[in-house]
Amino acid sequence: MFNWYMLAALAALPAAAPAQAPVSVPAGEPLILAFGDSLTAGYGLGRGLGFAPQLEDALRRHGIKAHVHDAGVSGDTTSGGRQRLGWTLDGLPRKPDLAIVELGANDMLRGVDPAVTEANLDAMLSELQRREIPVLLAGMLAAPNLSPSYRRRFEAIYPTLARKYDATLYPFFLQGVAGNRALALPDGVHPNFEGVKRVVTGILPTVQRALARVSRRAAA
């Protein structure tokens, strides 16, 4: 069973700068923004082993020459994400074709009111919509030791906002990884290389569908 108490280490991590500097992206090749916390940033892993580079490699193996920009910040909350989204987007070489938003776990572990988490995510999705950037919203489940009321309110945030903004929803970012210690670092919390590989394998079809949706809209 997944140790949600140890997952509190996510919330204890100090905020750090995004791991990857912007690079030039050839015209015609999709640019994906991976905007999240330590799960996106590849905490504890070497260069090229985290979520963004593994997703980029997986897409290229499937014939999609996309560039995935790592904008994960370890320890980040939705409040932090809301504050940095604008300058993160402004610092990219061009507007992303897709933004993967993976935030909220640290809010939940700190007991932040789900209404605050929802308001922050709502503001981020609103800004992305204003800039006409399609979104893939990666959800998170609440720890089972929290009250049923809190869990219901927190877990409802992601499908509610996905419907509101017509975003693609991936219900649980750690699907297939949570609870399997063989896929975790020694801290028992963060995915190791194989764990990130499993995350990428799980989310890849959703990313492919989101990119295909972007292409259809561009051709319409």
CATH number at residue 135: 3.40.50.1110
Inside any domain, residue 60: yes
Q: What percent of the chain has a predicted confidence (pLDDT) above 90?
A: 74
| Single-letter amino acid code for the residue at 40 | T
- Model confidence pLDDT, tens digit, residues 74-109: 999 999 999 999 999 999 999 999 999 999 999 999
Domain of residue 214: give its range.
8-19+31-219
The answer to whether 190 is a known catalytic residue is yes
The answer to whether 215 and 185 are in contact (CB under 8 A) is no
The answer to whether 38 is a known catalytic residue is yes
Inside any domain, residue 1: no
- Model confidence pLDDT, tens digit, residues 25-70: 777 799 999 999 999 999 988 889 999 999 999 999 999 999 999 9
The answer to whether 55 and 68 are in contact (CB under 8 A) is yes
Residue of 70, 107, 187, 215 marked active site: 187
Cα distance between residue 173 and residue 171, in whole Å: 7
Residue of 38, 67, 76, 107 marked active site: 38
For residue 1, what pLDDT is reported?
38
Rounded (10°) angle between helices 148-165 and 114-130 = 10
Inside any domain, residue 39: yes
Inside any domain, residue 156: yes
Inside any domain, residue 49: yes
> Can you give the C-alpha Rg of the chain in angstroms?
16
Q: Is the pLDDT of residue 216 over 90?
A: no
Considering only residues 12 and 158, tell me which one the structure prediction assigns the higher pLDDT: 158
Inside any domain, residue 180: yes
Inside any domain, residue 25: no
Inside any domain, residue 162: yes
Give the predicted TM-score (pTM) of the model.
Answer: 0.90
The answer to whether 67 is a known catalytic residue is no
In the chain, how many domains are there?
1
The SS3 assignment for 34 reads strand
